[in-house]
Chain A
Amino acid sequence: MNLDPKLYTYHSKKSNNYILIAVGLILLLVAFFTGSSSKEFYFSYLTSYFFWLSILLGGIFFTLVHHGFSATWSTVIRRVMENTIVLIPIFTVLFFPIIYGMEKLFKWLPNHYYWLTHNFESDHLIQQKLAFLNEESFLIRAILYFLLWNVITISLYKMSIKHDETNDHSILKKMNLFSMSPLGVLFFVSLTFAGFDWLMSLDPHWYSTMFGVYIFAGSFLVFLAFLTFTLIRLQDQGYLTGIVSQEHYHDLGKYLFAFTVFYCYIAGAQFYFIWYSNIPEETIWYLHRWVGSWKVASVMLIVGKFVIPFFTLVFRASKRNTKLLKFMTLWIIAIHYLDIHWIVMPTLHHHDVHLGLYDLMTMIGFGLIFTGSFKYIMSKNALIPINDPELKNAINHRNN
């Protein structure tokens, strides 16, 4: 099939992207050097880091699903997915400040500032968890997660690019087998434990077995929003005309709707179990989020992450309306930040929401690095897998 190369060759000035990345790095460095001695900085850094990382984690899942099931309709959007997830190496490097500031973040470390005035040995609950929550195993697990994520993303990206160049269809079979291999299961395990390690253990007394799924639901939802938004932006700029159609947006809209409901289901289930059983070390986590202005944030989360997207996306017409989808995806991305903020920050600010300068600096810093490197990666290759035999069917995809 003959497509105009102009439609799928992304142009972006290299120098602009370097400037974006450089400004982002400078922002993060300024924040680091002014705030490395304060705990506020590390909490803000962790929030922003996990917000941007979760987009990639959701992307890894969708890419594995696409290749694992040899899906047809998502063939036109698969390269955008691969371009997103291949940013994992950058996030591997950006994880180091979290290791550096561990003792300001995690209360389960004996040298956390809390234990300067309290007796570490007398905290029975933390003592019982030390086999899992200790510095060495935390670091080993982090290395394993990043190793796995790098292996998955770089292998898939390389194979996909190689297929563009060689048109050797055995590579597609390889990608299929790779995605169906135990790596996919391991990815879920790693996602769950990364959520446990980096977010749940901020309050080491608290635990929820739903938390891994909660992180997955949020990550996949925000990735879908990001993907849809990126596609609409690309089409606004004149790319992918006639390649990505209303039918694909309809399917992405269905996904957005489905995972809005899934998120609500998981978040609700997590809450109900804790609410029913009424065990102090579990309920305290929700109590921290139901005092002062945190209560407003909690209500905003329920309304903004479920009620509004649900009643907007439930209609067929709104899933096929790119203008509305553009707004909804931005909305979902914004509310996902509130979600991560709501998970991390009450550990630091017990009574009220504080949106500080470090939150802003790290968010923009990560955002610029992300945008710059994403645009750079997109301009390196075609925006669609040009040699994929399913491409024609994917372009002609219909919903009814």
Chain B
Amino acid sequence: MKTYGIIARFDTTSDLLHAAEKIRDAGFKDFDCHSPFPVHGLDDAMGLKRTTLGYLIGAMGMTGALFGFGLQTWIHLIEYPMNISGKPFFAYPAYAIITFELMVLFSAFGAVFGMMYYNRIPRLHHPVFYSEKFSAVTSDAFYVSIESSDSKYDDNQTKDFLKKIGGKDIELLQDENE
């Protein structure tokens, strides 16, 4: 049987935060916290770096703006010049709206698909679902999972460590069919 990792339950958000801090300080990298709602301060407690998604969105937005402005300039100056209410061909104030809209559209694409890439979705299955009790995380339980891919991971030592920091219902994630 292959072991994917280990999970432990905590009862309150503050327990979860303290546990995350201890796991972080113990040097684990491949671990995650699961809670029914967003917990303030969890990013710091887990030692997560800030996402670079914002820069991706910014770059996409700039691309969109340049594309929108370039598209209109090309149409009105080269491809299909047309006199519209006596305005000059290069009537850049009129380009602002489509430039803006394409900036928003590209930013939104950047945000949605970038978020999916960073979160590694779509993903149809995750080892934590091998646990029956884990489903309580969607209503009233807080779980910590440490994955076996972590270099510091060891079945028994990690189990003892989680017990020491106050974890309950400690379970090894194993695929029974394999």
Contact = CB atoms under 8 A, between A and B. Distances in A.
Interface of A: 268, 271-272, 275-276, 278, 314, 316, 398, 400
Contacts of B50: 316
11 contacts: A268-B96, A272-B93, A272-B96, A275-B94, A276-B94, A278-B85, A314-B58, A398-B40, A398-B41, A400-B40, A400-B43
4 nearest CB pairs, A to B: A398-B40, A275-B93, A400-B43, A272-B93
B54 interface: yes
A210 to B, nearest CB: 15
B43 to A, nearest CB: 6
B57 to A, nearest CB: 11
Interface in B67-107: 85-86, 93-94, 96-97
Contacts of B44: 400
B37 to A, nearest CB: 14
Contacts of A316: 50, 54
Interface size, B (range) = 10 to 19
Nearest to B44: A400
Contacts of A314: 58
A247 B146 CA distance: 31
Interface string B38-63: 00110110000010001000100000
Contacts of B43: 400
A186 to B, nearest CB: 33
Interface in B6-50: 40-41, 43-44, 50
Given A268-B96, A272-B93, A275-B93, 7 more contacts: A271-B93, A272-B96, A275-B94, A276-B85, A278-B86, A400-B41, A400-B43
A271 B40 CA distance: 43
Contacts of B93: 271-272, 275
A271 B93 CA distance: 9
A266 to B, nearest CB: 13
A276 B97 CA distance: 12
A90 B40 CA distance: 44
Nearest to A315: B54
Contacts of B85: 276, 278
Contacts of B54: 316
A278 B86 CA distance: 10
A274 to B, nearest CB: 10
B142 to A, nearest CB: 18
Contacts of A275: 93-94
A159 to B, nearest CB: 31
Interface string B111-152: 000000000000000000000000000000000000000000
B33 to A, nearest CB: 14
A400 B54 CA distance: 15
Contacts of A276: 85, 94
Nearest to A265: B100
A271 B97 CA distance: 12
Choose among A271, A314, A400 the residue with the greatest number of B CB atoms under 10 Å from its CB. Answer: A400
A275 B86 CA distance: 12
Contacts of A271: 93
Nearest to A400: B43
B12 to A, nearest CB: 17
A276 B91 CA distance: 10
B1 to A, nearest CB: 39
A240 B146 CA distance: 42
A313 B111 CA distance: 20
Contacts of A400: 40-41, 43-44
A272 B95 CA distance: 10
A320 to B, nearest CB: 12
A26 B93 CA distance: 47
Nearest to B42: A400
A268 B43 CA distance: 39
Nearest to A317: B50
Contacts of B58: 314
A327 B27 CA distance: 40
A266 B111 CA distance: 26
A213 to B, nearest CB: 18
A62 to B, nearest CB: 24
Contacts of B40: 398, 400
A316 B54 CA distance: 10
A186 B94 CA distance: 35
Contacts of A272: 93-94, 96-97
A268 B85 CA distance: 20
A339 B97 CA distance: 23
A299 to B, nearest CB: 14
A17 B40 CA distance: 43
